[in-house]
Structure 1
């Protein structure tokens, strides 16, 4: 493809009009005084009858002069060759898959526009050329090795999706430049992005020229950038809460929007507000948020809408889901013979609802079955004091001073007297701010299971371990705290408070840590266990874990993901994914692509252009020489 850097210079070719006129106009006759007109009557009649112009006769000189004008005008216009690749050249296409690429324009997303450009590049490969695809997400990756197979490349393009979050474009360009090191002449890097990001990216100094092609246009957008739910309970309204929402408008004019909060299908509150141009507004909605029929704290869904009911260009930031304040109150079930020191720690936490019961009262394991029906109906932290059921229940659990030969699938060794604590994992959240150097244990039944995560080690084996499962986490303290001096140490209270906070956080988030839109779900499971994930849009994803932690790639959707492990039919694990990133919600192009100390102009930057004007200038000189020789040849008519 050829472009002109100075297209207005082509106007010089307009001189061809007077040039042609010179060849069709007759030579003007010279007037002279004569003594008599009698001898010139015939010539006078002929002069009055003839026209002022003559028929255009092809002359080589005219053709040469027209060629001189054409070649000179083209040379002044500075033609350059861009976009086309020479035979054998390699093209690296970097595709932005950040959240903003999910914005709609004309019924298609920006990513769809970028994929269309990439398909065109794949179909237009030169002979012997190949193309590689690099996905620019938070961590860039090569998704298609260099290939000349357009069909295979289009298949890879068809699998690309918006990943969510921000894209590290500079790292992706660096990766492309590294892969093109030593590539044939004419190789290049093509970056397809909406430029909707802050910052500056240098395009020079690469192993190949870089061409940036912007997709999409600047469109207005209203976004939820922050949301929180806080308790405002009173004696009359124990479940009263305030829902704080902050709205930001990324546009040059103000707009009205509706902010609506709901739980399930029930609308709690709604308000219409005006958001200033390029400004932000905060709104507070008040509602009662009692626990649901299953005892779980409700999840509050906040939706942003326009008065005309038409969704804006970027629906990802128009919805956010957050847990209610009731999720902060953690039900704790003490199951078994009381251990006073443990019970005392739980009672001192004002956000703990404490219940005491026994396995027999719950019917767990008393008839030889696993007896999990009664346990799975409990929503909260289950604390087993002594006896445990054969199988672990759903949710988080804590086992203190276990009896029997095993705890769930963790084997217990013979009792050892006076073990010495050797190490403890200070980096684990359960041992945050825990110091055990002055703690002495009276007796220990060491845990004999390599699958468990060791938290505290003694000279006789692990004393405290944790094991993560798809449906929760179990922490096991393999000794009786009352037979040690640990309850008198401050670390005792800190440890159990850490257990409470971890269980409270996981429960508030539905069991899986919350994250940004597009962030993968990290579900602790047993190797080979099947998972079924239901997305906010209703799609079902099936995954089989390959290790003890299943990383489930999910589509960039905002809302609640439900995760069921194996044959779990009771309360599923919930994962919240929200888009609360103001930078990605601003859909206007802001990235600066620079070359040296200047900003690249236009959509294409830092491309090594092959200017052709020297060739045209050389042709112009040759034509002028030829025309001069032709005009001065022997026998030429002057």
Structure 2
């Protein structure tokens, strides 16, 4: 639903104000309006300080961050792109989609603003022809929209007011350590530790927040970029541990298999040898007995 947003096309004579999102798809040389979020579609490389090594024809998409909020319900499988610029990823940037020659989409910070940069223009691909393009636009707008979720992703401390209270119309207790009833104004201090539901200024976006004395990564209930199993969210770290002596178990298992195979053979060989010795003993006993000759009387 884009009915809550105003779309304005500016030129060099426009009286600049403050916006939530700027979309740049051409070489606009004037001053940019005040906005915390910028979406650049293969434009303004020199302004942002990005470097390119040339144009790549029909690059394949080899990877994209499917768990990033930008790609919620968006698939780039078999995306056909006529051309993209091989761009060097800035030190402060993070690639969101890759081709063999560099990033296709990346996020960065420039002049205190968050930037999402496309190294190709969507018009030079079949992305606008896909259903996923509608979801992509909605995700970009959601990314740029100030909401109660930005407050929920910060730490709430009992006895202190909400951060950025202008983004919240009210907040209500869900489960608290001490009895708290009714809705609270955003300027009121958090009364007790617990879980609260924050309502945005337009009443359309709710978010859960936790108020306690723990660290931020232990109280953040928002969607995480990456989750570590049994640990806090983030890239896994290398930990040195003593190797389990698995080779002992392997040798023991092989020994049991060999014993299971050799033992019946040994028992069978011993049994056959015993029978053979008994036969030989009986044969020798029979051969050593005297034989009486019988004669006839004429």
Normalising to structure 2: TM-score of the pair? 0.51
User: What is the CA-CA distance between 1:467 and the residue it aligns to?
Assistant: 1.9
Q: Distance in 2 between matches of 1:584 and 1:469?
A: 42
Tell me if the contact between 1:439 and 1:486 (Cα under 8 Å) persists in the aligned partners.
yes
Deviation per residue, 1:129-185 (Å, 9 max, x gap):
xxxxxxxxxxxxxxxxxxxxxxxxxxxxxxxxxxxxxxxxxxxxxxxxxxxxxxxxx
- Helix, strand or coil at the partner of 1:353: coil
Q: Distance in 2 between matches of 1:388 and 1:465?
A: 21
1:332: which partner in 2? none
Deviation per residue, 1:6-32 (Å, 9 max, x gap):
xxxxxxxxxxxxxxxxxxxxxxxxxxx
Deviation per residue, 1:78-134 (Å, 9 max, x gap):
xxxxxxxxxxxxxxxxxxxxxxxxxxxxxxxxxxxxxxxxxxxxxxxxxxxxxxxxx
2:81: which partner in 1? 441
User: What is the CA-CA distance between 1:498 and the residue it aligns to?
Assistant: 0.5
User: What is the CA-CA distance between 1:582 and the residue it aligns to?
Assistant: 3.3
Deviation per residue, 1:271-298 (Å, 9 max, x gap):
xxxxxxxxxxxxxxxxxxxxxxxxxxxx
Q: Distance in 2 between matches of 1:350 and 1:414?
A: 39
Report the CA distance shift for 1:472/1:575 in structure 2 as closer, same or farther (over 3 A).
Answer: farther
Report the CA distance shift for 1:439/1:402 in structure 2 as closer, same or farther (over 3 A).
Answer: same
2:139: which partner in 1? 498
Residue correspondence of structure 1 range 529-540 to structure 2 within 5 A: none
Residue correspondence of structure 1 range 70-149 to structure 2 within 5 A: none
Report the CA distance shift for 1:411/1:454 in structure 2 as closer, same or farther (over 3 A).
Answer: same
Residue correspondence of structure 1 range 97-246 to structure 2 within 5 A: none
2:230: which partner in 1? none
1:378: which partner in 2? 18
Residue 416 in structure 1 maps to residue 56 in structure 2:
yes
Residue correspondence of structure 1 range 272-351 to structure 2 within 5 A: 349-351=2-4
User: What is the CA-CA distance between 1:556 and the residue it aligns to?
Assistant: 4.1
Report the CA distance shift for 1:443/1:412 in structure 2 as closer, same or farther (over 3 A).
Answer: same
Report the CA distance shift for 1:561/1:488 in structure 2 as closer, same or farther (over 3 A).
Answer: closer
2:126: which partner in 1? 485
Q: Distance in 2 between matches of 1:583 and 1:409?
A: 49
Report the CA distance shift for 1:355/1:458 in structure 2 as closer, same or farther (over 3 A).
Answer: same
User: What is the CA-CA distance between 1:421 and the residue it aligns to?
Assistant: 0.8
2:151 is aligned, of 501, 507, 514, to 514
1:582: which partner in 2? 175
User: What is the CA-CA distance between 1:464 and the residue it aligns to?
Assistant: 0.7
Deviation per residue, 1:398-442 (Å, 9 max, x gap):
111215x43524333422221111000001000111111121111
Q: Distance in 2 between matches of 1:482 and 1:561?
A: 38
Stretches of structure 1 that go unaligned for 5 or more consecutive residues are 1-347, 364-373, 521-553, 563-572, 588-638
Tell me if the contact between 2:23 and 2:40 (Cα under 8 Å) persists in the aligned partners.
yes
1:453 is aligned, of 72, 94, 100, to 94
Q: Distance in 2 between matches of 1:389 and 1:555?
A: 48
User: What is the CA-CA distance between 1:494 and the residue it aligns to?
Assistant: 1.5
1:354: which partner in 2? 7
Q: Distance in 2 between matches of 1:576 and 1:473?
A: 25
1:558 is aligned, of 136, 140, 161, to 161
Report the CA distance shift for 1:429/1:583 in structure 2 as closer, same or farther (over 3 A).
Answer: same
Higher strand content, 1 or 2: 1
- Helix, strand or coil at the partner of 1:475: strand
Deviation per residue, 1:315-358 (Å, 9 max, x gap):
xxxxxxxxxxxxxxxxxxxxxxxxxxxxxxxxx83232111123
Q: Distance in 1 between matches of 2:92 and 2:168?
A: 25
2:208: which partner in 1? none
User: What is the CA-CA distance between 1:388 and the residue it aligns to?
Assistant: 5.0
Tell me if the contact between 2:25 and 2:43 (Cα under 8 Å) persists in the aligned partners.
yes
Q: Distance in 2 between matches of 1:508 and 1:470?
A: 22
Tell me if the contact between 1:390 and 1:407 (Cα under 8 Å) persists in the aligned partners.
no
Q: Distance in 2 between matches of 1:576 and 1:474?
A: 28
Tell me if the contact between 2:147 and 2:167 (Cα under 8 Å) persists in the aligned partners.
no
Moved more, 349-358 or 418-427: 349-358
Normalising to structure 1: TM-score of the pair? 0.25
Q: Distance in 2 between matches of 1:577 and 1:561?
A: 12
Report the CA distance shift for 1:380/1:561 in structure 2 as closer, same or farther (over 3 A).
Answer: closer
Task: Name the structure, 1 or 2, with higher relative contact order (CA <8 Å, separation 6+).
Answer: 1
Q: Distance in 2 between matches of 1:470 and 1:577?
A: 32
